[in-house]
Amino acid sequence: MDIKSAEFVVSNSDVAKCPKALIPEYAFIGRSNVGKSSLINMLTNKKSLAKTSGKPGKTQLINHFLINKNWHLVDLPGYGYARVSKSSKKTFQKFITQYFGLREQLVSAFVLVDIRHEPQTIDLEFMQWLVENGVPFSIIFTKADKLKPKAIDNHIEAYKTIMLETWEDMPTYFITSATNDIGKDAVLNYIDGLNGNMKLN
């Protein structure tokens, strides 16, 4: 799929105020600093569409971006950032629960995972929560430019092993890098296919 246009629409802390249009929506979620905002910029060929930072906790709101005038990409705040207060953790949990509970437009979530790390409990628990709440998701491994191909394979195998202990199948997954466009076509074509299934594209 070619990206012909990508525009910022709105930031919200209240899910009820998110755009009402019934068009397909895809949400990027994952630990703080995993590269959610950077990946949105890479996919849309716009360096500063979503705000990125070397410091975790940059994205604090639900950000909607309108792509090709007919579907939304959503940049969400990260989880698992140790240095936020208890009250902001609670606020985060509340609006993430509401977001996934209320957005009927959501076709699929993408859970972003830093390819450099061993499987992390916080990510596995979050994915389990999505399963229990009936939210479809795929995994996007980020920062693949930081590892050699062999190390990438080893890390994917570690994920498969741990996931197949609990689930029958490994979720669909993508290997990406926001710095060198690895995985760009795969992710965009996957979304294109899902949009096609929604008969809206």
Please choose, out of 9-17, 87-95, 132-140, 172-180, the segment that lies near ligand GTP by the rule CB under 6 A: 172-180
Q: Does 148 bind ligand GTP (CB under 6 A)?
A: no
User: Can you read off the two tokens belonging to residue 16?
Assistant: 């009820």
User: By CB under 6 A, which span of 14-22, 50-58, 83-91, 163-171 interacts with ligand GTP?
Assistant: 50-58
Q: Which is nearer to ligand GTP, 15 or 198 (CB)?
A: 15
Question: Could you tell which of Mg ion, ligand GTP, none binds residue 44, using a CB distance below 5 to 8 A set by kind?
Answer: none
Structure tokens at 155: 């890390």
Choosing among Mg ion, ligand GTP, none, which partner's interface includes residue 77 (Cβ < 5 to 8 Å by kind)? Answer: ligand GTP
CA within 13 Å, CB half, 156: 19
Shortest separation between residue 37's beta carbon and ligand GTP, angstroms: 3
3-state secondary structure of 23: coil
Q: Is 197 exposed, middle or buried (0-12, 13-18, 19+ CB in 10 A)?
A: exposed
CB 91 within 8 A of CB 8: no
Binding residue for ligand GTP (CB under 6 A) from 32, 44, 63, 105? 32
Distance CA 12, CA 23 (A): 18
Alpha-carbon gap, residue 187 to 82, rounded angstroms: 30
Residue 49 CB, shortest distance to ligand GTP, in Å, is: 11
Q: Which is nearer to Mg ion, 54 or 149 (CB)?
A: 54
Tell me which of 1, 31, 35, 37 binds Mg ion, using CB under 5 A. 37
Alpha helices in 3-108 (DSSP H): 36-44, 86-102
Residue numbers of the site for ligand GTP (CB under 6 A)? 32-38, 52-54, 56-59, 77-78, 142-143, 145-146, 177-179
